Amino acid sequence: MPIHDFSARLGTGEERRLADYRGKVLLIVNVASKCGFTPQYKGLQALYEQFQSRGFEILAFPCDQFGHQEPGSDAEIATFCSDTYGVTFPLFAKIEVNGNNAHPLYVWLKEQKGGLLGDGIKWNFTKFLVDQAGAVRARFAPTTKPESLAREVAELL
């Protein structure tokens, strides 16, 4: 099943088909508002502003599976991201990325690119880089700063 066959609900409640992103380079990230890595929102927004006009999108998926670090509602998450970090990229509704209730997109992403210590997502801000054809090209650990991905993004554009 290609990535463009999936859909997910935005934080606003609207269903978004990933086919809408066909032909774009994607960075898909599971995010949280109360995590040590939360300041990465600033780097993600900078990367988005740098490359969006060239066909780059960041898809952020809030997740509360790691240390209860995303306790808010979808509306609270959106307000926090906008007010604190000026986020303008799409924020999806809160999902699970591991376990029996993992969102099908994340089941697929983990099948495409496993992690160093198994396929499961280990923490917030794990990043998947997807090319214009919908192939997962790389997986980056939560510790990887978004701004360090500029070269990889540019190469795919």
Say whether 63 is catalytic.
no
Q: Distance (Å, rounded) from C-alpha 155 to C-alpha 112? A: 20
- Beta-carbon contacts of residue 14 (< 8 Å; ≥ 6 apart): none
CA dihedral 11, 15, 18, 20 (to 10 degrees): -100
Catalytic residue among 31, 32, 35, 77: 35
Tell me which residues are annotated as active site. 35
